[in-house]
Amino acid sequence: MGELSGYHSTTVIGMLPVRQPHYPIPVPLTPVPEGLTVWRASTPWQTVRSMLGLVIVCFFVSQIAVLIGAGFIDGDMNGSLGPFDPFATFLGGICLSPMLMLFFFLRRPNLTHTVHAYPSHEGKNVHALAGGTVVNSPQATVVQHHIFRSTAPLEMPRPMHLWMLFAFGVGLSTICLLPLTIFGANLATVLLAVLVVLPAWLIGFATPVFAWWSITSRHMGINISRRDAEWILAAGMLSTIPAIIINSVITPVMIHPFGLNAAASGTLGEGIVLFLSAPIGEELSKGLAVLFLSHLIISPKHGFYVGSTVGLGFALLENAQYISMALASDYSSITYFFTATLRGLSSIPGHAMWTGLTGYAMGCWLARGHRLPNFSKTAYLSEDAEANWVLYDKNGLPVTTSGWTTMPSDRMMRLLVKHQRHAWAMPTTVQGGLFLAMLGHGLWNGSSWGVGMLLKDGDPVLSVLLQLAWLVVMVAALWFCILRWLPTIVFSTENMA
């Protein structure tokens, strides 16, 4: 036709439309559904590692806070009131600021992001999530994802593993420090001591605290999230700040007008700090921490757990200071061995038991219908997700935890049944709990100081042996009381309130 009509022939080429890149619409976050199940790898040592970092920060926070308090009350630290030292308070504030920021950074909320894909004919094979994540599925699916604060259950290593680490670590550290004590300072002994001092310090002050915490967490039948349990321990560490200020600054100023010097060893001033100021100030400080955590107390047994964990947190920081002084002493190997061993078996469970009395009494008070305002607003910015957590081991098999997180363990039950007939009643009023805590703490400190004063002029070897014998008597008395009170704590009908 082109030729007959006079038109030149042309070739028409069809052009494909230019395809624009396809961006899938991001899947929005949705509220957490009821009955959500979250699988997570079991990491029992993670709690130990995270709290070790926190205790070092709290150690510096407490020491700097005392410097600031002393600058306001007793600037020259001579035991008398005044003068005000603005330089100490200003310098302390500057040093305290980064430590507080580091503390809150370490305690920031842990968020959990879960993604769920459900088969659906109306779904898609590719789903875009926030942050650049893309979910590909072989069949059409509908994807939902949620972000919520982690409520994973508290996991702790087995107590036996922690006690083995404590025994091996303290024993090996003592052996490595022994050449410095025997042969004196030379290149080899000093180098060996420098290499072992940090592990010796960490194992000596922290391992027994975590071992006792593992025992109460595993065997008492307390179901608590790791986040809440770590906050309880952290509150105990922070309670050392007012306690140290009371013992080191306020009490020396109060007794100075009477001619007493709290810093003089072997004097009545030192004794007043040990058997009067320390029990009152420390138990009030720990009791205040329990009060701020009252929203976690749902029964007297939970109150005891909160109180005992606060006591363990207090002992953790206090123990760090005592172990530091032992390692810095002249006979570091011997002093370190006895300090770590004796405090691990006596003072640490003592702190837990004394503050546990206060916590149990507060639990009884709350069980009778009393309520306190929620002091911890940061814990409840929004409603936490009620998720069911399934922990799995390195082989992908679920870890059985329900047996010891909802009721006392079989080992605990067998122990308590033996002592149930001789159980003692626990204090049910806050005043009674605080009084018993102060009384037990005061008898512990006061009797130790009194025995030392009676034996100070005697034979040194005999004096040390008699003081160790008295310590054994006190430890036996402490455990006698614990075994009498423990059945009431675990089996009390008020626990069902």
Q: What CA–CA distances, in Å, run from 211 to 24, 47, 232?
A: 51, 12, 16
- Beta carbons of 392 and 479 less than 8 angstroms apart: no
Q: What is the pLDDT of residues 286-319, one digit of tens each?
A: 999 999 999 899 899 999 999 999 999 999 999 9
Helices 86-106 and 44-73 sit at what angle, rounded to 10 degrees?
A: 160
Of 126-135, 238-247, 349-358, least confident by mean pLDDT is 126-135
Strands 387-392 vs 36-41: parallel, antiparallel or unpaired? parallel
- Beta carbons of 383 and 149 less than 8 angstroms apart: no
Q: Using DSSP, state whether 220 is helix, strand or coil.
A: coil
- Compare 343 and 381 and report the one with higher pLDDT: 343
Q: Using DSSP, state whether 395 is helix, strand or coil.
A: coil
Residue 9: its pLDDT value, please? 43
Distance from C-alpha of 196 to C-alpha of 250, rounded to nearest angstrom: 37
Distance from C-alpha of 9 to C-alpha of 171, rounded to nearest angstrom: 102
H/E segment holding residue 83: none
Full-model pTM: 0.87
Tell me which residue of 306, 293, 428, 319 sits closest to 356, measured CA to CA.
306
Q: What is the pLDDT of residues 108-164, one digit of tens each?
A: 888 888 888 889 888 888 888 876 788 888 889 988 888 888 888 888 899 999 999
Q: What is the pLDDT of residues 476-485, one digit of tens each?
A: 999 999 999 9
Residue 275: its pLDDT value, please? 93
Residue 191: its pLDDT value, please? 93
Strand partners, 51: none
Binning pLDDT at 50, 70 and 90, where does residue 222 land?
confident
Residue 304 backbone dihedrals phi, psi, to 5 degrees: -65, -40
pLDDT of 406 higher than 90: no
Distance from C-alpha of 205 to C-alpha of 133, rounded to nearest angstrom: 44
How many CA atoms are closer than 13 Å to the CA of 76, on its beta-carbon side? 6
pLDDT of 24 higher than 80: no
Domain edges within the chain: 112-149, 159-496
Q: What CA–CA distances, in Å, run from 118 to 144, 285, 386?
A: 8, 52, 21
Strand partners, 112: 148
Binning pLDDT at 50, 70 and 90, where does residue 496 land?
very low
pLDDT of 29 higher than 90: no
Q: Using DSSP, state whether 120 is helix, strand or coil.
A: strand
Strand partners, 166: none
